[in-house]
Chains A and B, each alone.
Chain A
Amino acid sequence: MLAKRIIPCLDIKDGKVVKGVNFVGLQDVGDPIEIAKRYDQQCADEVVFLDITATYEKRDIIKDLIQRGASELSIPLTVGGGIRTIDDFRMILSSGADKVSVNSAAIKNPQLIKEASDEFGVQCVVVAVDAKKRADKSGYDVYIAGGRENTGLDLIEWVKQCEALGAGEILLTSMDRDGTRDGFDIEMLKAVIDAVSIPVIASGGCGDKEDIVEVFEKTNCDGALAASLFHYGEATIDQVKEECVKHNIPVRRNI
């Protein structure tokens, strides 16, 4: 049986992690590779690098990071942030990443999903979707620009379109929950999981290990992504997995 994935996410700007990470004995607290290696040792199932570097000129930095990541990690690496073209996909994958996560560019140009999956295979195309419940509670709208801009797209219509175009996975972030630490948005996740047959990763709102257990018990999502829970050392990935085991959730443990 496939294991449920626990995925730490690092926000990276100009080659450094944006939020400080609390690890005892870590030499360079800003180095994404050092942090990712720690997560690898703690039995993370995958690591996500989200590049929030604003300027295009600094893209060489992320290329270098991916190359180092691919050579030093023994688990898959997903890279997102600022992906605009098929050439961006090519650069990231040829540098050694396993998957590319695309958000705004897929909304502006949905054909990018098709082009990328035709050329590189569906398994490496992740569509990141940020969504928020409508004020009239009639459903969810898709947002871009870090939740600032409402595209007016209906979430369920959009994820179905992504799947039809060749997305291999949906990384679903709840803008209502992101940063609140109130737990994942179970209702929204269920709606998306029912609508598509590709893997769905839950993101936004994770505050403690019980939230991760809850999302696996109440939905059929394939993985859970968290940032601050792990970065601030409140729980290690192994502790989260120990909790999952107690609840009979299939997870990969260190041997």
Chain B
Amino acid sequence: MVVIIDYNIGNLKSVQNAFERIGVKTIVSRDHDVISQADGIVLPGVGTFPVAMENLKKYDLIDILKERKAAGVPILGICLGMQILFEQGQEVKLTKGLGFLKGEVKLMQVNAKIPHMGWNELCFAKKHPLLKNIKEKDYVYFVHSYMAYPCEKELVAYCEYGDSKITAIVAKDNVMGCQFHPEKSGEVGKQILLAFKEMIQ
């Protein structure tokens, strides 16, 4: 069972439905007992970095997430939910993140339109189980203005935009994140979620 963390940050329904379509049972919850039972945890999110962190604090979710991470439960952050996996964010004001991944989140440094919005091609930086069902140059759907600047060894996939590389997938051990929306990325997104499903079984 996958728990989609409910911390009042954007619509969670489409993420939930995307998992249902591939036959994964999900529960949207912020209950510690429920989260403790999870085989996999999804951290979604649409909004701003400081509000996301404030809400995690407000609902007392930070410690349980740290505990589950240490227990080796696969965790997948999506969009803003991926950004708060990092050490800090500069959106609105400097805010501390969960610190599960090394690096920080800043306004993207790019000579192209911001927000980076639409379908872009994935380039693989290294091998990773999340990529097993897809290939390079497959398209996924992005909507964001801020991006993670991770350390090199935690970067799994990126895409090219203007003259810059945009962080697309990051991972370290059982902690993973997608800047794009797999739940809005058609068949490719579905295949990424299926790969995540295999990790939790």
Residues of A in contact with B (beta carbons under 8 Å apart): 1-3, 5, 40, 43, 45, 67, 70-72, 74-76, 93-94, 96, 98, 121-123, 168-169, 197-199, 222-223, 252, 254-255
- In contact, A75 and B184 (Cβ under 8 angstroms): yes
Question: Does A70 lie within 8 Å of B17, measured CB to CB?
Answer: yes
Question: What is the bound-complex CA distance between A222 and B139, given in angstroms?
Answer: 15
A43 and B186 within 8 A (CB): yes
In the complex, chain B residues whose CB is within 8 Å of the CB of A5: 118-119
- Judged by a CB distance under 8 angstroms, whether B59 is at the interface is no
Q: Enumerate chain B residues within 8 angstroms of A255, measured Cβ to Cβ.
A: 134-135, 138, 187-188, 191
Question: Shortest beta-carbon distance, A37 to chain B, in Å?
Answer: 11
CB–CB A1/B120 < 8 A: yes
B28: chain A residues within 8 A (beta carbon): none
B185 at the interface (CB under 8 A from A): yes
Considering the complex, give the chain B residue whose CB is closest to the CB of A76.
Answer: B184
Can you give 26 contacting A-B residue pairs, CB < 8 Å? A1-B120, A2-B118, A2-B120, A2-B161, A3-B118, A3-B119, A3-B120, A5-B119, A67-B13, A70-B11, A71-B14, A74-B186, A74-B190, A76-B184, A96-B11, A98-B184, A121-B47, A123-B115, A123-B144, A168-B115, A199-B113, A222-B118, A223-B118, A252-B119, A255-B135, A255-B138
In addition to A199-B118, A255-B134, 14 A-B residue pairs with Cβ atoms within 8 Å of each other are A2-B116, A40-B186, A45-B119, A67-B13, A70-B14, A71-B14, A75-B186, A93-B11, A96-B13, A123-B143, A197-B113, A198-B113, A222-B118, A254-B187
A168 to B113, CA, bound (A): 10
Separation of A113 and B113 alpha carbons in the complex (Å): 19
CA distance A197 to B110 in the complex (A): 14
Size class of the contact patch on chain B: 35 or more
Shortest Cβ gap from B66 to chain A (Å): 29
Residues of B within 8 A of A (CB): 11, 13-14, 17-18, 21, 46-47, 113, 115-121, 134-135, 138-139, 141, 143-145, 160-161, 183-191
Residue in chain A with minimal CB distance to B188: A255
**Known contacts being A1-B160, A199-B113, is A96 close to B14, with CB within 8 Å?**
yes
Distance A96 CA – B14 CA, assembled complex (angstroms): 7
Cβ-neighbour of B139 out of A70, A71, A93, A252 (below 8 A): A252
**Cross-interface CB contact of B119 among A2, A70, A123, cutoff 8 Å:** A2
CA distance A127 to B176 in the complex (A): 35
Query: Which of A3, A75, A252 has the most chain B CB atoms closer than 10 A to its own CB?
Result: A252
Partner of A74, one of B13, B120, B187: B187
- Complex Cα spacing A31 to B21, Å: 20
Residues on B with C-beta less than 8 A from A43 are 186
State A1–B189 Cα separation when bound (angstroms). 18
Instruction: Give complex CA distance A67, B17 in Å.
Output: 11
A169 to B114, CA, bound (A): 11
Most buried by A among B18, B118, B134: B118
Q: Are A74 and B185 in contact (CB under 8 A)?
A: yes
Q: Is the CB of B11 within 8 A of A94?
A: yes
Contact B17 A71, beta carbon cutoff 8 Å = yes
CB distance from B120 to the nearest CB of A (A): 5
**Are B118 and A72 in touch, CB under 8 angstroms?**
no
